[in-house]
Structure 1
Amino acid sequence: MNEKAYLKEIRKGNQEALNAFIETLYPSVYRYVFCKVSGKEEAKDITQEVFLRFIKQIHNYQSNGKVLAYLYTIAMNCCHTYYRKEKRFDYTELNDEISKDDYNLSEDVLHTLTFEELRLCLQKLPDKDQDILIFHYLKQMTFKEISQITNESENTLKTRHYRALAKMKKLIKDGDQHVS
């Protein structure tokens, strides 16, 4: 079943379609959220919140693009809300939930750092820098697709991407990525 068919059935109240829809998209949303919060329970809670918000507003949702892009937008906002409420950034709580194979970064970076060190560096970046790197490398999205999620121009995203990579290089060079 394609996205439009799922949405049509879900709007009719078809529980099986809703379950299949969530089962299909949940892993992608969860992996994104987990990269942002680094706690399994927090990631599960936030991912559930993403789908609850989507379901609450499904009758108002206009399918102009991919549903997954819209879910990523909700997830991004939920993560930002989570950090505003918590007002904490726990850089030491690292989990192995996402395998190294989920990242498609250049070989030299992967050989230089352990996976945990790479995640730690990423989490030290500002939210918008984290988002661009996660969407581009983890989710293998184009700048055009990321633009639809963040509502920023492709050129702005390319500039942010370049600067985020420069910040990552500096963190790596300065040795700030090591897990304590």
Structure 2
Amino acid sequence: MDADFLLIRKIKQGDEKAFDLFIRKYYKEILTYCNYHCFDKGYAEDLTQETFARFFEKVSDYHYKGKTKNYLYTISGNLCRDFYKKKKEIPIKDMELSEKIEPVEHQMSEVENKLTIEWALKQLPNEFHEVLILYYFQELKLKEIADVLKISLPLVKYRLKQAKIQLGKLLGEEGIYEFGRTTYEL
């Protein structure tokens, strides 16, 4: 039997440890996903907590089909879209600086890079924005993205290709961008 199936069964029975294990298993991924949608750590944490609250609220009706993570992404995606409808202007906070002291030029370069990527993502239509976040930042496979967004695999491929083209136009000719410690090539 699948570990998620057993966890959800225990959650339905009211096992507090199962709740905790489930949250620990998926919290970081959902937080990262929400953070790429709203670019504000506080809002992202609120949206992540709301995602789990909504999941647990409806867990008695949830029928396990082997795609629990996809279901959590769907909930958080809906919450992020609702968030954008309610809040048009989202403050962008400065990047948290690592505990290591880095040269000022490197810190400024990282901040500028993050702000540029955030700006470019906001310029894209929502369907392209969503596919890019799931592909590059959440590192989901194309089939998983299709499942999360409930669209066909060819449509995912089309949206990813179009999003890369539009991002290339917005960000310039280089096509290689750093975000945090990861380098993404369009």
Determine the structure 2 residue equivalent to 1:31: 32
Confirm whether residue 45 of structure 1 aligns to residue 46 of structure 2: yes
SS where residue 152 of structure 1 aligns? coil
Determine the structure 2 residue equivalent to 1:178: none
Determine the structure 2 residue equivalent to 1:78: 79
Scaled by the length of structure 2, the TM-score of the pair is 0.79
Confirm whether residue 136 of structure 1 aligns to residue 173 of structure 2: no
Q: Read off the aligned partner of 1:166 and give its amino acid letter.
A: I
**Rg comparison, structure with higher value:** 2
Aligned residue pairs total 159
Distance 1:94 1:120 in 2: 13
Distance 1:74 1:20 in 2: 19
Determine the structure 2 residue equivalent to 1:145: 144
Distance 2:94 2:28 in 1: 16
Scaled by the length of structure 1, the TM-score of the pair is 0.81
Determine the structure 2 residue equivalent to 1:106: none
Determine the structure 1 residue equivalent to 2:101: none
Tell me the percent identity.
28
The root-mean-square deviation of aligned C-alpha atoms, in Å, is 2.1
SS where residue 61 of structure 2 aligns? coil
Q: What is the CA-CA distance between 1:125 and the residue it aligns to?
A: 1.5
Determine the structure 1 residue equivalent to 2:19: 18
**8 Å Cα contact 1:94-1:116 kept in structure 2:** no
Stretches of structure 2 that go unaligned for 5 or more consecutive residues are 99-111, 174-186
Distance 1:153 1:69 in 2: 15
Distance 2:163 2:93 in 1: 21
Distance 1:94 1:158 in 2: 32
Provide runs of 4+ in structure 1 moved above 4 Å: none
Distance 1:95 1:43 in 2: 15
Stretches of structure 1 that go unaligned for 5 or more consecutive residues are 100-112, 175-180
